[in-house]
C-alpha cells in the first residue's frame, strides 16, 4: 500500500500535527491526495513555541484548517511523576484530547506522523496510540525517516532538514518530578543555544545542573562561546557541563 491508496480508503481524516518533519510531510501528502484533512496541535508545556509556529505555518501554506488545543499535561499525576511509563500517559492524554475534538468536528479517523524507522517495541507512547486506534500512514506504507526527508525536499517543504526534536520532558531524568518552572528553564536555555547557531542538541537537567549534549562538529562553537553560555545559563542553573560523549 502507498499513500494514495491509503487516502483513497480514508478520504477524510484528522491529523495530529506536531510541527516536526514527519507530520508536516504527512499533511502535505494527505492534501496532495485530496484528503479532507483537519489538523490539530496540542499546546502543552512540553512543546516549545517554535513547534506550534511551524505547525501553524504549514497548515496555512497548504490551506488546512488547524485547531490549537491547550492541554495542561501537568494536571496528570502520572505524567508529573515522570516514571518509566510517562510517555504512555502523556501520549494517551494528548491523543485522547485530539480524538475528542476531531470527533466533535466530524472526523472519525485520527492520523499521526510515526514513520517506518520508528521502533514500536521500545516506545511506551506507541502503546497509547494503538489503544486509541490512531493510524500511522507513513509507517503503514513503509516510508522511513530518510524517505520522509527526501520527499519533503523534493516537495520544497520548509521542515525537510529540521532536526529531530523530542519534547522538553525528555530532558529531565526519569524519576525527577516535572514542573512548569523546570520546563521553562529548559526552553529558555535551548532557545539561547539556538541563537548561537547550534542545532540538533539537548540541554538535559535534574533541576540544578545543565548538561549540554551537542554533535561533535559543534563542540568548537560551544567552547568559543563558553563565557557567554556560562553567564546566560547560570541564571537558571547552578552548574553547566559539556557531555563529551558526542552524539
If one counts the domains in the chain, the total is 2
Does residue 161 sit within a domain?
A: no
Same domain, 109 and 35: yes
Same domain, 219 and 132: no
Q: What is the pLDDT of residue 247?
A: 62
User: Residue 213, class by beta-carbon neighbours within 10 Å (0-12 exposed, 13-18 middle, 19+ buried)?
Assistant: middle
- DSSP code, position 43: E
Compute φ and ψ for 67, nearest 5 degrees.
-110, 125
Same domain, 136 and 233: no
**Host domain of residue 61:** 3-155
- Number of helices (H), then strands (E), belonging to the chain: the values are 11, 7
CATH number at residue 19: 3.40.50.620
Does residue 31 sit within a domain?
A: yes
Q: Could you tell me if 69 and 47 are in contact, meaning their C-beta atoms sit under 8 angstroms apart?
A: no
pLDDT in tens, the chain (247 residues): 899 999 999 999 999 999 999 999 999 999 999 999 999 999 999 999 999 999 999 999 999 999 999 999 999 999 999 999 999 999 999 999 999 999 999 999 999 999 999 876 557 788 999 999 999 999 999 999 999 999 999 999 999 999 888 899 999 999 999 999 999 999 999 999 999 999 989 999 999 999 999 999 999 999 999 999 999 999 999 999 999 886 6
Does residue 47 sit within a domain?
A: yes
Q: How many CA atoms lie within 13 A of 222 on its CB side?
A: 21
Q: What is the pLDDT of residue 121?
A: 56
Same domain, 115 and 150: yes
Is this structure's pTM higher than 0.85? Answer: yes
Does residue 163 sit within a domain?
A: no
Q: What is the pLDDT of residue 120?
A: 64
Does residue 166 sit within a domain?
A: no
Amino acid at each position: 500500500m502507498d499513500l494514495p491508496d491509503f487516502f483513497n480508503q480514508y478520504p477524510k481524516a484528522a491529523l495530529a500535527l506536531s510541527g516536526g518533519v514527519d507530520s508536516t510531510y504527512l499533511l502535505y501528502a494527505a492534501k496532495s491526495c485530496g484528503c479532507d484533512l483537519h489538523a490539530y496541535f496540542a499546546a502543552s508545556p512540553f512543546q516549545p513555541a517554535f513547534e506550534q509556529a511551524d505547525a501553524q505555518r504549514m497548515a496555512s501554506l497548504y490551506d488546512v484548517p488547524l485547531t490549537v488545543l491547550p492541554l495542561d499535561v501537568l494536571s496528570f499525576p502520572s505524567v508529573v511523576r515522570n516514571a518509566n511509563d510517562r510517555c504512555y500517559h502523556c501520549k494517551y492524554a494528548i491523543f485522547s484530547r485530539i480524538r475528542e475534538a476531531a470527533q466533535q468536528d466530524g472526523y472519525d479517523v485520527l492520523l499521526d506522523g510515526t514513520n517506518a524507522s520508528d521502533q514500536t517495541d521500545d516506545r511506551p507512547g506507541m502503546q497509547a496510540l494503538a489503544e486509541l486506534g490512531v493510524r500511522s500512514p507513513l509507517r503503514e506504507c513503509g516510508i522511513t525517516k530518510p524517505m520522509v526527508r527526501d520527499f519533503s525536499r523534493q516537495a520544497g517543504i520548509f521542515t525537510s532538514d529540521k532536526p529531530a526534536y523530542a519534547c522538553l520532558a525528555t530532558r529531565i531524568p526519569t524519576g525527577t518530578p516535572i514542573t512548569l518552572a523546570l520546563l521553562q528553564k529548559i526552553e529558555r536555555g535551548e532557545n539561547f543555544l539556538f541563537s548561537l547557531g547550534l542545532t540538533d542538541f539537548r540541554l538535559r537537567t535534574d533541576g540544578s545542573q545543565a548538561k549540554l549534549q551537542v554533535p561533535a562538529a559543534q563542540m568548537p562553537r560551544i567552547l568559543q562561546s563558553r563565557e557567554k553560555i556560562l553567564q546566560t545559563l547560570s541564571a537558571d542553573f547552578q552548574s553547566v557541563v559539556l557531555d563529551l560523549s558526542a552524539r
